[in-house]
Chain A
Amino acid sequence: MKAIYALLICLAASTRAFAQTEIPAEPVPSKVDCRLCHISGSPTKEKPSLLQCQRVMNKLARSTQQAPQTITLGTGKGTYGQVKFSHKAHAEMGEMGGGCYQCHHYDHGGEIQKCGNCHSATRARSDLASPDLKGALHQLCVGCHKEWGHTAECSTCHGKKNIPNPDLPKKIAFRTAYNRGSIVTFTHADHVKSFGLKCARCHQDQTCSSCHDSGMNGAPPRAAVKDSDPMKASHMACFSCHAKDNCASCHSGKPMDTFNHEKSAGWRLNRFHNALACQRCHTGGKFAKLNTDCQSCHKDWQGKFEHKKTGLALDETHSGLGCDSCHGDKEFLAPPACSACHDKSYPKDKPGHIVGKG
Chain B
Amino acid sequence: MNSSSGDKEKGLTRRAFIKNTVGIAAGLTSLPALAQAKPENILSPDRMGVLVDTTVCIGCRNCEWGCKTSHGLPTPPLETYEDASVFEKMRRPDDKALTVVNSYPNPKDPKAPYTVKVQCMHCDHPACVSACIVGALSKEESGSVIWDTGKCIGCRYCIVACPFQIPAFEYYQALQPEIRKCDFCSGRRKDGKLPACVESCPAEALTYGPREELVRIARNRVKRYPQRYVNYVYGEYEVGGTSWLYLAGRDFADLQFPKLGKNPAPGVSESIQHGIFAYFVPPVALYGLLGLLMWVSKNNSDEGGPK
The residue that A123 contacts in the complex, of B82, B194, B217, with Cβ under 8 A, is B194
Whole-angstrom distance from the CB of A243 to the nearest CB of chain B?
A: 38
Q: Is the CB of B199 within 8 A of A138?
A: no
Does residue B29 face the partner (Cβ distance < 8 Å to A)? no
Write out, one digit per residue, whether chain A residues 22-54 have a CB within 8 A of any chain B CB (1) or not (0). Answer: 000000000000000000000000000000101
Interface size class of B (residues with CB under 8 A): 20 to 34
Contact check, A123 vs B203: say whether CB atoms are below 8 A apart: no
B82: A residues at CB distance < 8 A: 151-155
A-contact bits for B218-253, CB 8 A (1 contact / 0 none)? 001000100000000000000000000000000000
CA distance A213 to B214 in the complex (A): 37
Q: Which of A129-137, A189-197, A227-235, A316-324 contacts B (4 or more CB under 8 A)?
A: A129-137
Query: Once bound together, how far apart are the Cα atoms of A86 and B237, in whole Å?
Result: 45
Q: Is the CB of B194 within 8 A of A52?
A: no
CA–CA, A138 to B209, complex, Å?
20
Q: How far is the CA of A146 from the CA of B205 in the complex (A)?
A: 15
| B201–A135 CB distance below 8 A | yes
| Residue numbers in B under 8 Å from A54 (CB-CB) | 224
Q: Which of A139, A152, A154 contacts B56 (CB 8 A)?
A: A139
A150/B111 contact (C-beta < 8 A), A129-B220, A132-B204, A135-B202 known: yes
Cβ-based interface call for A19 (8 A): no
Complex-state Cα separation, A135 to B202, whole angstroms: 6
Chain B residues, Cβ within 8 Å of A134: 202, 204
Q: Mark B98-124, 1 if CB is under 8 A from A, else 0.
A: 000000000001011000000000000
- Which residue of B is nearest A136, CB measured? B204
| A128 in contact with B203 (CB, 8 Å) | no
Contact (Cβ within 8 A) B60 A55:
no
B163 CB-CB contact with A under 8 Å: no
User: Which residues on the B side are within 8 Å of A124 (C-beta)?
Assistant: 193-194, 208
- A331 near B: Cβ within 8 Å? no
Which chain B residue shows the least CB distance to A158? Answer: B202
Q: Does A306 lie at the interface of the complex (its beta carbon under 8 Å from any beta carbon of B)?
A: no
Q: Mostly helix, strand, loop or mixed at chain A's interface?
A: loop
Interface string of B107-143 (1 = CB under 8 A from A): 0010110000000000000000000000000000000
Task: Answer whether A138 and B58 are a contact pair too, CB < 8 Å, given A55-B224, A131-B204.
Answer: yes
> In the complex, how many angstroms separate the beta carbon of A219 from the nearest chain B beta carbon?
11
Q: Is A81 an interface residue (CB 8 A)?
A: no
A147 at the B interface (CB under 8 A) = yes
Verify if B86 is at the interface (C-beta below 8 Å from A): no
B58, A152: Cβ atoms closer than 8 Å: yes
- B198 interfacial by beta-carbon distance below 8 Å: yes
Asked if A121 CB lies within 8 Å of chain B CBs, one says no
Which residues on B sit within 8 Å (CB–CB) of A152?
58-60, 82, 84
Q: Which residues of A contact B208 (CB under 8 A)?
A: 123-124
8 contacts between A and B (CB under 8 A): A123-B194, A131-B204, A135-B204, A138-B203, A146-B58, A146-B112, A152-B59, A152-B84
Quick check: A135 and B224 within 8 Å, CB to CB? Answer: no
User: CA–CA, A54 to B208, complex, Å?
Assistant: 20
Interface status of B207 (Cβ within 8 A of chain A) = yes
